[in-house]
Amino acid sequence: MYSIEELSEQVEKALTTIEFPQEPNNLYDPIKYVLLSGGKRIRPILTLSSCNMFKEILSDAIYPALAVEVFHNFTLVHDDIMDNADIRRGKETIHKKWSNSVAILSGDAMTIFAYKLLVKTDRKFILPIIDIFNSFSLGICEGQQFDMDFEKIKYISPEEYTKMIELKTAVLLKGALQIGAIIGEAKNSDVTLIGDFGLNLGLAFQLQDDLLDVYGDTNVFGKKLGGDIVSNKKTILVVKAFCNAKGEQLNKLNMLYQQNTIDAEAKIEEVVKIFNETNVKEETELLITNYYSKAIESIEKISISSNRKDVLLNIANKIMNRNS
Q: What pLDDT score does 90 carry?
A: 81
Length of the chain in terms of residues written: 324
| pTM as predicted | 0.94
The single-letter code of the amino acid at 289 is: T
Cα 213 to the center of its chain, rounded Å: 15
What distance in Å separates the CA atoms of residue 162 and residue 214, rounded to the nearest whole number? 19
Q: What is the pLDDT of residues 174-205, one digit of tens each?
A: 999 999 999 999 999 999 999 999 999 999 99
User: Using alpha carbons only, what angle is made at residue 9 by residues 298 and 88, rounded to the nearest 5 degrees?
Assistant: 85
Q: Is the pLDDT of residue 223 over 90?
A: no
Q: What pLDDT score does 205 carry?
A: 94
The single-letter code of the amino acid at 133 is: F
* All domains of the chain in start order, with CATH: 4-314 (1.10.600.10)
What distance in Å separates the CA atoms of residue 145 and residue 143, rounded to the nearest whole number? 5
Q: What is the pLDDT of residues 67-103, one digit of tens each?
A: 999 999 999 999 999 988 888 888 899 999 999 999 9
| Interaxial angle between packed helices 123-150 and 100-118, expressed in degrees from 0 to 180 and rounded to the nearest 10 | 150
Q: Is the pLDDT of residue 220 over 80?
A: no
- Residue 258: which residues within 8 A CB-CB, separation 6 or more? none
Q: Which one, of 37, 20, 111, 130, lies nearest residue 71 by Cα?
A: 111
The single-letter code of the amino acid at 76 is: L
Count of other CB atoms within 10 angstroms of residue 269? 12
User: Using alpha carbons only, what angle is made at residue 229 by residues 223 and 235, rounded to the nearest 5 degrees?
Assistant: 100
Q: What is the pLDDT of residues 249-284, one digit of tens each?
A: 999 999 999 887 889 999 999 999 999 999 999 999
pLDDT band at 38 (very low <50, low <70, confident <90, very high): confident
What distance in Å separates the CA atoms of residue 76 and residue 69, rounded to the nearest whole number? 11
Q: What pLDDT score does 141 carry?
A: 96
How do the residues of the chain divide into helix, strand and coil, expressed in percent and rounded to 5? 75, 0, 25
How many Å is the maximal CA-CA distance in the chain?
A: 62
What radius of gyration do the chain's Cα atoms show? 20
What distance in Å separates the CA atoms of residue 71 and residue 315, rounded to the nearest whole number? 21
Q: What is the pLDDT of residues 95-118, one digit of tens each?
A: 999 999 999 999 999 999 999 999
Q: Which one, of 219, 171, 254, lies nearest residue 324 by Cα?
A: 219
Q: What pLDDT score does 324 carry?
A: 61
CB 83 within 8 A of CB 4: no
